Structure formats: C-alpha cells, structure tokens
Structure 1
Amino acid sequence: MKMHVDQVDVTVDVVTALVAQQFPQWRALPIRPLASTGTVNALFRVGTEIVLRFPLLPTTDPELRAELRQEQEYARLLAAHLPVAVPEPLGLGEPGEGYAGPWTAYRFIPGEPAQLDRIGDLDRFALDLASVVAALRGIDTGGRAWSGSGRGGPLPAQDAGVRSALALSGGLTDTARLAEVWDRCRDTPGQDAAVWIHADLMPGNLLVRDGRLAAVIDMETVNVGDPAVDLMPAWNMLDAGARETYRRALGVDDAMWERGRGWALLQAINALPYYIETNPAMAGIAQRTLRAVLE
C-alpha cells in the first residue's frame, strides 16, 4: 500500500539503468533495495559502500534539486563538527528513463535504526545524543535565521495543522488531553536564539552499533531554528529516566522543555492518522510519542 497519493514505484531495473548511465564506475556493483520505514525516499544499496536515495515524489522542479544539493552541503558541514558519523555525499543523480527527478548517492554507514532493544544503556544513549545536539548548537549560523519553512519557527503558527490532525485522530488516541497539552506548549512564552537543528531526530534517523549511537542520518530537514525542536527524542524514544538525563545534559529550562514537548506532539499527531494504515512502524512511534507527552 502506498503512503502518498502520488508516490512512484522505483524498481531495481530502473535504478540499475540510471547508475550505469550516470555513474559507470559503479555499473558492475550489485544493486538491491533496502527495507525502510522511512516516508520520503526509496533506498538502494550499491555494492557494500554506497546507498542511493530516490524521493518517492520525484519532480523536475528546480526546487527539489536545490533541496537535495543543500542537503548534501549540510551533510558536509555537519560532518566537520558532530561527534558521530553523518552520511558522506558521493553524487547527485539526474532524471532518466523510468524516474522523473533528481536523486542522491551517499556513503553507506553500517548500523541499525535506534530501537530500544538495540540500545545497551539508554542513559548513555541519551548523553551521546545530547552531545550531538550540543555540537549542532555550537556551529556558527553565520547570521542565518529560520528559513520560513519546515520545523523551527514559532510554535503557535502550527496550531491549525495540529487541530486538524487532532480532529482526524479521535479514535486513535486521547485527543482531549492532547489538546490541553498542546494549548499549554503552544502558549509557553519565550523563543531562544536560532541554532542549527537536525529537526527530525526520529529513531529511524539514529543508527546504533554495538549498543551505542553511531550515526545521525537524513539531513533533508537540517535547518536553523528553535533549539527546542531537537528535544523531540525525549518523547519519541527515551523513557522517563533517560528523558531527564537528556534534559540535564542539554541544560534545558522549563520554557524550552515545553516547546520541545509541543514539537514532539506536533510531529506525532500529524503522523498518526496519515500513516495508521500505510506505515505501522511510523504510526507506532507516533502513538508511543503521544503517550509520553501525556506523562
């Protein structure tokens, strides 16, 4: 079942032909699809060292190309500052027969998505993740402000979207209590200075190896904005004890913490009704997140 109305099917045959035409140095390498619970890209492994990312909603609009190019630029920027691995860009593919849009190639990073049963010590994981977020916040923004799109702007501007998602979720979660929490988070005063944020620190974008955080992937949401956005893992994957460890490590005050809770709620309540039928893993994370924000 497709997750998006206009989603395209990307086949191995199409990918093989595109690689042979545009990256002939890789044409002899085996290509296979990678299973993923992600919602934006179809993934393919080329040999042992390369992963290809094909947007599920391809377009020849120059805006998509610019976004993919920026994603790769940000990956290079973050790699120079973060204490864990980030994907290394290897190329930008062009539209071709069977696929009507640009696509990207990155160095493959070994690891598994950060599910709780793969993490050795959740408090240690919280500290490792906090060190990544602290490093992000320490990168010079060069005077940048929030771009005006994506996560990281004023939380009250998201009110209409949250209320719409709550209206669609009446049979899926406790929308009455969530509405009360959202009102409190939305109205929390204060907004910290904009910093570099990943803005999508979901379990699937955090790779673990030998029980420890090994990499942060998916740079497509990287932005300059409200630092509270990167508090979302406190609710989307950490338990109560590790949540407090994460908060202390980042020195988060009450106002930022409530905004972080609001961003976690926003992400989850939008994902839940959208993916409940088409992506059970994403819907499950959303339900766990919403339970956590009510604690």
Structure 2
Amino acid sequence: MSARQMHPDLHPIDDDLVRRLIAGQFPQWAGLAVERFPSGGTVNGMYRLGDGMAVRLPLVKGGAKDLSTERDWLPRLAPFMPTAIPEALGAGEPAEGYPWPWSVYRWLPGENPEAGALSEPVPLAEDLAGFVAAMRSITLPGAPEAHRGGPVASLDASTRAAIEELRGIPQEGVDCDAVAAVWEDALRAPRWDRPPVWLHADLMPGNLLVDGGRLTAVIDFGCMGVGDPACDLFPAWNLLPAGAREVFREALGVDDATWSRGRGRTLSQALIALPYYRRTNPVMARNARHVIRAVLAEAEAS
C-alpha cells in the first residue's frame, strides 16, 4: 500500500523530489543514485543515497520535530551505546515545495528482524537487554520527556476506544474481553515512582537491525527521552518468543509491576495500530496481531 493511504495529512514524496533536494543543498552528492527503501515505517520516508547514505524525510508534520531531537541528542548518546545508532551527515532544509527539515544519515547495514523467524532469539534477547540497560544508565542532563514515557493511565481513553473499534471488526478475531482484562491489569500496576530513565521509546522490529541474528544497530530515536522504563520492554512481546522473553526480562531485572505496565503499553500500541493500519500498512498490522497473540498467550499461561 502507498504511504499516502496511511494518514490523511501525508506530504507526497518521490525519487525526483529527493534528487532535487540533494542537488540543491548537497551538490557533492548530486550524482549518487537515489532509490526508495521499502519500509513499514509510518512517519518517515527512507531513500538510499548511493551505497553509504540514507535520506530520511518526514511524511507528516510531527516527524519534523523528531529529526530535530535526533540531531541534538544522537551525537551525545552514541558514546554510551553498545550497538551502532544513526549518524547524521547532513541537515536538509525545506525546499522544492517540501515543507519540513530532513536529514541525510550514514547507511547502517542489516535487516529488520521478524517475529516468528528469528535465527538466534536468545542471543538477540541478550543484545536487546544490553541496549536497554545502556540507555537506562545514561545520566545526561536536560533530557526531553520520552514519547509514551508517562503514566500508563494516559493511554486509557485511546486504548479503550481501540478495543471498542475492534469489537466492530470481527474478522480480526480479537478477543476483546481478554485484551481488556490485560489492560485493566496494567492500569492496576503501581506507577513508576523512581527517577525517570533514558528510553529509546519505540523499539519496534522496524527500528532494529540484525546480522546473523544478532543486534547490530538501533535506529529512529525520534521518540527518545526519559520516562517509565516499562516503555522499553516492547521487544518482549512484539518480537521475542516466550523463552527469549524471559531471558530479556531476567537480564534487565524487571519487577512484576514494571512488567505488567510494559505488557500493557505494548498491547495498547498494538490495539490502536491494528484498526488504523490494517488496510494501509501490512507490516504494522501484522506485528500488531502478533503482539495481541503473544500478550494473550502469556496472560493465559500466568
């Protein structure tokens, strides 16, 4: 499906626009090949620029702020990271009818992992735990608040609305009473009452790169900031099978309350994404269905 169908306020982008933007602002790269990179992303369009770079352009206005956040913070975070993270090589400005800032990054090799098809799930779980732990250990001052990093209750209205919307889509086969019970459990969990920690805040499979089954890079830090550590437990349900999930949890020493909040947050994201993207973004919809199944299976087993 085309990106234009995902949101009502998308700005159209294409190869020719990217070539004009590059030629006008980075003439040293004007002769390099430009090719749209297929992605399940929902906020940015990605283009390969030559062999060693990527161009990232927001598809919606909100994505422009994310790029500014990355430009400010990624150079400061990089020394603390156990894996590669994006490195901005150029800061593009609005031009050629394109209304927002955009960026050129160094290309990071690897492929996105896929839930249910991991070649090294336990080592990958350990790698992910190492990345999350490294983020949590950062003490840089002046951190922004992470997107989704606040109380679970702040997601209540949108989550309940999504559950009711899914009741009206029986072909998706979601057990809405069961997911509502898991959500209620997350709401009952004690809030995080210690200092907020640094978070990536969007650890979806599409923001992870692996090689040989092992984590090599984490990308798209637009949601980063400080908040509830439960927010970075997403891979437990959106990617890892049950055994590796426990390895991930044990490596991070996650208490029951934080685990419940993390499971609820991951479920909330999936419940909201499924009705919104089910006809426009197969990657997001597929992962949302996976999360719902994984969460309900864990709840039934506990």
Is the pair's TM-score, using the shorter chain for normalization, greater than 0.5? yes
- Indicate how the Cα distance of structure 1 residues 221 and 66 shifts in structure 2: closer, same or farther if over 3 A, else same: closer
1:194 aligns with 2:196: yes
Contact 2:36-2:47 within 8 A present in 1 as well:
yes
1:241 aligns with 2:247: no
Runs of 4+, deviation exceeding 4 Å = 63-66
Q: Indicate the SS of the match to 2:70.
A: helix
Q: Distance in 1 between matches of 2:135 and 2:243?
A: 24
Aligned match of 1:219 in 218, 221, 231?
221
Q: Indicate the SS of the match to 1:199.
A: coil
Partner of 1:74: 73
Alignment of 1:125-144 (within 5 A): 125-142=124-141, 144=143
Partner of 1:122: 121
Contact 1:93-1:105 within 8 A present in 2 as well:
yes
Q: Distance in 1 between matches of 2:49 and 2:157?
A: 42
Q: Distance in 2 between matches of 1:143 and 1:221?
A: 15
> What displacement does 1:228 show?
0.5
Contact 1:90-1:107 within 8 A present in 2 as well:
yes
Q: Distance in 2 between matches of 1:293 and 1:82?
A: 29
Partner of 2:82: 83
Partner of 1:180: 181
User: Which amino acid in structure 2 is aligned with residue 57 of structure 1?
Assistant: V
- For residues 132-179 of structure 1, the C-alpha deviation after alignment (integer angstroms, 9 at most, x for no partner) is 0000000004275x63x7211011121101011111112221111101
- Indicate how the Cα distance of structure 1 residues 294 and 64 shifts in structure 2: closer, same or farther if over 3 A, else same: closer
Percent identical among aligned pairs is: 47
Q: Distance in 2 between matches of 1:255 and 1:64?
A: 32
- For residues 183-217 of structure 1, the C-alpha deviation after alignment (integer angstroms, 9 at most, x for no partner) is 11011113143100011101110100122110000
User: Which amino acid in structure 2 is aligned with residue 132 of structure 1?
Assistant: F
Partner of 1:94: 93
User: Which amino acid in structure 2 is aligned with residue 169 of structure 1?
Assistant: L
Partner of 2:46: 43
Q: Distance in 2 between matches of 1:103 and 1:203?
A: 23
1:34 aligns with 2:37: yes
Aligned match of 2:153 in 142, 156, 164?
156
Contact 1:40-1:55 within 8 A present in 2 as well:
yes
Q: Distance in 2 between matches of 1:168 and 1:116?
A: 25
Q: Indicate the SS of the match to 1:45.
A: strand
Partner of 1:230: 232
Q: Distance in 1 between matches of 2:246 and 2:6?
A: 34
Bigger shift: 108-117 or 88-97? 108-117
Contact 1:72-1:219 within 8 A present in 2 as well:
no
Q: Distance in 1 between matches of 2:122 and 2:66?
A: 35
1:262 aligns with 2:273: no
- Indicate how the Cα distance of structure 1 residues 118 and 111 shifts in structure 2: closer, same or farther if over 3 A, else same: farther
Contact 2:113-2:210 within 8 A present in 1 as well:
yes
> What displacement does 1:116 show?
4.3
Q: Indicate the SS of the match to 1:113.
A: coil
Listed as ranges, the gaps of 5+ residues in structure 2 are 298-302
User: Which amino acid in structure 1 is aligned with residue 160 of structure 2?
Assistant: R
Listed as ranges, the gaps of 5+ residues in structure 1 are none
Contact 1:87-1:217 within 8 A present in 2 as well:
yes
Normalised TM-score (structure 1): 0.94
- For residues 260-279 of structure 1, the C-alpha deviation after alignment (integer angstroms, 9 at most, x for no partner) is 10111111111111000001
- Indicate how the Cα distance of structure 1 residues 133 and 39 shifts in structure 2: closer, same or farther if over 3 A, else same: same
- For residues 237-265 of structure 1, the C-alpha deviation after alignment (integer angstroms, 9 at most, x for no partner) is 11110010000000011011001101111
- Tell me the number of residue pairs that the alignment of Structure 1 and Structure 2 aligns: 289
Partner of 2:255: 253
Q: Indicate the SS of the match to 1:80.
A: helix
Contact 2:84-2:217 within 8 A present in 1 as well:
yes
> What displacement does 1:280 show?
1.2
User: Which amino acid in structure 2 is aligned with residue 219 of structure 1?
Assistant: F
Partner of 1:11: 14
Normalised TM-score (structure 2): 0.91
Partner of 1:168: 165
Q: Indicate the SS of the match to 2:210.
A: strand
Q: Distance in 1 between matches of 2:36 and 2:12?
A: 12
User: Which amino acid in structure 2 is aligned with residue 78 of structure 1?
Assistant: L
User: Could you say what the CA RMSD is over the residues aligned between the two structures, in angstroms?
Assistant: 1.6
- Indicate how the Cα distance of structure 1 residues 12 and 4 shifts in structure 2: closer, same or farther if over 3 A, else same: same
- Indicate how the Cα distance of structure 1 residues 64 and 264 shifts in structure 2: closer, same or farther if over 3 A, else same: closer
